[in-house]
Amino acid sequence: MSGSPDDIPFFDEEDAAPAPAPRAGGIAARAMAARAAPRQAYLDGLNPEQAQAVETTEGPVLVLAGAGTGKTRVLTTRIAHILATGKAYPSQILAVTFTNKAAREMKTRIGVFVGEAIEGMPWLGTFHSIGVKLLRRHAELVGLKSSFTILDTDDQIRLLKQLIQAEGLDDKRWPARQFAQMIDGWKNKGLTPKEIPEGDARAFANGKGRELYAAYQNRLLTLNAVDFGDLLLHPIRIFREYPDVLKEYHKRFRYILVDEYQDTNTAQYMWLRLLAQRQGQSVNVCCVGDDDQSIYGWRGAEVDNILRFEKDFPGATVIRLERNYRSTSHILGAASHLIAHNEGRLGKTLFTEQADPDEPKVQVHASWDSEEEARAIGEEIEALQSKKHALNDMAILVRASFQMREFEDRFVTLGLNYRVIGGPRFYERQEIRDAMAYFRVVAQPADDLAFERIVNVPKRGLGEAAVRQIHDVARMRQVPMLQAARDLVGTEEMKPKPRAALRTVVENFERWQDMLDRTSHTELAELILEESGYTDMWKNDRSAEAPGRLENLKELIRSMEEYESLRGFLEHVALVMDAERDEEMDAISIMTLHSAKGLEFDTVFLPGWEEGLFPHQRALDEGGRTGLEEERRLAYVGLTRAKKNLHLWFASNRRIHGLWQTTMPSRFLDELPEAHVEVCEDGSAYGGYGRPDGQIGRPNPYGRSRFDDQGSFSNTYATPGWQRAQKNRNSATDRNWGTRSGHQVERIGYGEADSGYGAGRGSVKGRTIEGELVAKSVSDTPSAFKVGDRVFHMKFGNGNIAAIDGNKLTIDFDKAGQKRVLDGFVSPV
DNA sequence: GGCCCATAAGTTTTT
DNA sequence: CTTATGGGCC
């Protein structure tokens, strides 16, 4: 396709009456078809099923897309096809995804087909972002103003806490956090306070659950605010109560596409049905999903939605994508065999044509404990690295996030670059939220929750008493808190000290609000943080995190530059909680299995395949067979992330809540087909398989001979394997020290400020160091530090250098104690 | 109002 | 064993 945006017409203005689709055979249609015809090249690369999914544009279509079968490609090509054949204008296509990332990717990929016309798809987005759009248009129908604010979980909990206390309840016995989750659950099911089951209502706060939920909703209305659930529920209500509004959207949306349909919850399902089910009209709705990858049941997703599709949309075409383009036949064979143990599937059989006899089988490794597991995986990674495998092509996928620590610790010691995906998000960090609260009050003076958050941050002597006073005035006069505060400083009601402090706050906000339209928003933002004393607060903070927080604030300002205004930025942040990851750095990814869905890597490590951890005990206890099946799907997701190499690990001992426990290999290991799996003993060089013979309470994965035979452990693999690994390890680390210390960055979680830029290779003379393997690297990159220097480390905070050993520093950290780290990870204070 | 100690709890996560 | 939170004391 050519890159000209003129290929596709975008003259359908956002708020114009929905334009009719070009009439079949009409001049416009023919013109477009003529232009499109020679470019149907986009269909060429598709297999027959994919092509069918793209070209069956009319009527309901369910695409069951197995892992790695080109799902996103089908979705994007389908949209491109609809556009190219002139069946609809971009603004007539509703395309919903779950995550911003997925939405972004679709926009980009459609952009490739269509030219740069990404702006032309106004209704491509997440359920929530589309919900905002709908709600801004029709806010008044549910008693809101279209300037409503979107609360995040933090705000929500603080609000609920107030309400619980206002009811005279003990907020310790009835934690707001827990209640927030209950409300979330109700909203996932599309339930209003009136509709929640009696039992649920009774379960909280001595039967006041329903009352509190209703009070919460009322409070939101007075605050002109919504939570995430409301972004779906309000539109549902509008569609139900105002059929003419719904009709408008029926007319507008000629084509509806839904990604990851197996993850939809009841509310999303209701929302979708309202839009997609129309009387006596063929509905062009296309849902794409994979029932085998449904892993969000615990947060309200209903696999049933996908299983029921044909009933909901009679006459639906069901297309199965089963040709896998991602993984080797061994990996696929293992995954398919495992998932076949689930009942109640729609059933797909993945196949691949990649059948290179040399491709490695899925490897299962045993280790003595989780520490050894981390060590062995680290060695394997370094071995691969020395064979020129990029760290970016590798990932460690864990069941629970506590497993990550051991790997992080290990990689820090090894000096192995890693990135943690899915940790605390950038916009969820305290300093970012505080800063955002300031911006919110400036942009939306009625945002009481934001005001309350920062009125005493930094500390200004405006404690609980002062806040209550402001609160009372605000309630009495029915004005926002900022206004109430303004009134209060004009009276004698407050003691002089808090009064003066509050006056400064009020005057500051007035000045900033005044500047809002005259100053560039980034400048203003910086000014606010300076003048409020917020940056100073962190500058004066001597804790380990403070420098990182300041860095984050800078990053926040930087990221604002991409937006036109403060308001635009605030909307973005409310909905898009993620941050781009730094693709520049070569690093291995560590993440949970859940956050790995949709990703792929050449090499995947899956540690912790033990009963109780995976499948997780709690899933079994609370979910029964359904829970087990979801765990199995999670295992399936994990296995199918790998393209070439897949390593499963289990440890015989694992520390859980501090104490060591002996574990049994996961039942999922039993469920793998022997033909595609190879059991390796390299990892258990120490201590072998720590289970006494015959102690296992159920059939052993591969027959006892393979796992329990200590002989094979120490003879076949262990010794040479260990030695080889040792060798690789040394060469790999040496090489890395040489190349890294220039720009090495340790990132923990995304959005975390980069720290420890190279320790700077000063002209420090080669120190005499008692050191063995370090000696070599010393000449390469002498450390610029000297004993006694004060340094900062991203993970451990500030400390003093106690000893230097080439590039390895021994540091006495103020908080973390003595650690050995590479100099690239620390920066001078 | 701020700091320190004690206690409790401890999958998975998006918006 | 950790980490987060809350209460109590200065």
Pull the structure tokens for residue A116.
């740069």
What is the reported pLDDT for A816? 57
- Whether residue A451 lies inside any domain: the answer is yes
Q: Does the structure show a pLDDT above 60 at A763?
A: no
Q: Which nucleotides of strand C come closer than 7 angstroms to any CB of the protein?
A: 1-2, 6-7
- Whether residue A350 lies inside any domain: the answer is yes
What is the reported pLDDT for A774? 22
CA A519 remoteness from chain centre: 34
CB within 7 A of nucleic chain B: A 98-101, 126, 128-129, 153, 184, 228, 298-299, 399-402, 422, 425, 456, 459, 461-466, 575-578, 591-592, 594-595, 616, 618-619, 622-623, 627, 631, 657-658
Longest dimension (CA), chain A: 86
Q: Does the structure show a pLDDT above 70 at A598?
A: yes
Q: Do residues A444 and A364 share a domain? A: no
Average pLDDT over residues A810-819: 63
pLDDT digits (tens, 9 = 90+) for A146-202: 999 998 888 888 888 888 888 877 777 888 888 898 899 999 999 999 999 888 888
Domain tally, chain A:
5
Pull the structure tokens for residue A576.
């898009």
Q: Which amino acid is at A166?
A: A
Q: Do residues A133 and A259 share a domain? A: yes
Per-residue pLDDT band for A132 (boundaries 50, 70, 90) equals: very high
- Whether residue A334 lies inside any domain: the answer is no
CA distance A93 to A604: 37
* CATH number of A154's domain: 1.10.10.160
Q: Do residues A504 and A614 share a domain? A: no
- Whether residue A67 lies inside any domain: the answer is yes
Give the structural domain span for A675.
Answer: 340-425+581-679
Average pLDDT over residues A205-225: 90
The reply to whether the CB atom of residue A572 sits less than 7 A from any atom in nucleic acid chain C is: no
The reply to whether the CB atom of residue A464 sits less than 7 A from any atom in nucleic acid chain C is: no
Q: Which of A633, A641, A740, A808 is catalytic?
A: A641
Binding residues of A for ATP are 65-72
- Whether residue A762 lies inside any domain: the answer is no
pLDDT digits (tens, 9 = 90+) for A768-800: 122 211 222 222 334 567 777 777 655 556 677
Q: In this complex, which residue's CA is closest to the C1' atom of nucleotide C1?
A: A658
Q: Do residues A527 and A443 share a domain? A: yes
What is the torsion angle, in degrees rounded to the nearest 10, for the CA atoms of residue A62, residue A68, residue A73 and residue A75? 20
pLDDT digits (tens, 9 = 90+) for A547-571: 878 888 888 898 888 888 998 898 8
Percent of chain A past pLDDT 90, that is, above it, reads 47
The reply to whether the CB atom of residue A173 sits less than 7 A from any atom in nucleic acid chain C is: no
Pull the structure tokens for residue A810.
């021994």
What is the reported pLDDT for A713? 27
Q: Do residues A129 and A209 share a domain? A: no
DSSP state of A325: S
Q: Do residues A494 and A605 share a domain? A: no
Average pLDDT over residues A584-603: 92
Q: Do residues A654 and A521 share a domain? A: no
Lowest-pLDDT choice from A206-210, A340-344, A681-685? A681-685
Residue A746 annotated as catalytic: no
pLDDT digits (tens, 9 = 90+) for A714-762: 222 222 222 222 222 222 222 222 222 222 323 323 333 322 222 222 2
Check if the beta carbon of residue A255 is closer than 8 Å to that of residue A559: no
pTM of the prediction?
0.77
Q: Do residues A347 and A301 share a domain? A: no
pLDDT digits (tens, 9 = 90+) for A294-339: 999 999 999 999 999 999 999 999 999 999 999 999 999 999 999 9
Residue A72 annotated as catalytic: yes
The distance in angstroms from the start CA to the end CA of chain A is 54
* CATH number of A84's domain: 3.40.50.300
Q: Do residues A275 and A144 share a domain? A: yes
Q: Which amino acid is at A676?
A: H
- Whether residue A93 lies inside any domain: the answer is yes
CA distance A46 to A55: 11
Average pLDDT over residues A569-581: 77
Lowest-pLDDT choice from A20-34, A407-421, A458-472? A20-34
> Of A193, A223, A253, which residue constitutes the final position of a domain?
A223
> Of A168, A199, A223, which residue constitutes the final position of a domain?
A223
Q: How far is the CA of A228 from the C1' of B14 (A)?
A: 10
- Whether residue A391 lies inside any domain: the answer is yes
* CATH number of A511's domain: 1.10.486.10
Residue A545 annotated as catalytic: no
Between the alpha carbon of residue A93 and those of residues A3, A32, A245, A310, the distances in Å are 21, 17, 17, 22
User: Angle of helix A153-166 relative to helix A176-188, nearest 10 degrees?
Assistant: 110
Q: How far is the CA of A454 from the C1' of C2 (A)?
A: 30
Residue A628, H or E segment: helix A617-639
Residue A259 annotated as catalytic: yes
Burial grade of A140 (CB within 10 A; 0-12, 13-18, 19 or more): exposed
- Whether residue A690 lies inside any domain: the answer is no
Residue A611 annotated as catalytic: no
Q: Which of A155, A259, A292, A571 is catalytic?
A: A259
Q: Which amino acid is at A152?
A: D
Q: Do residues A248 and A392 share a domain? A: no
Looking at every residue in chain A, the average pLDDT score rounds to: 79
Q: Do residues A670 and A597 share a domain? A: yes
Residue A354 annotated as catalytic: no
Burial grade of A253 (CB within 10 A; 0-12, 13-18, 19 or more): buried
Q: Do residues A350 and A489 share a domain? A: no
Half-sphere exposure of A797 (CA within 13 A, CB side): 13
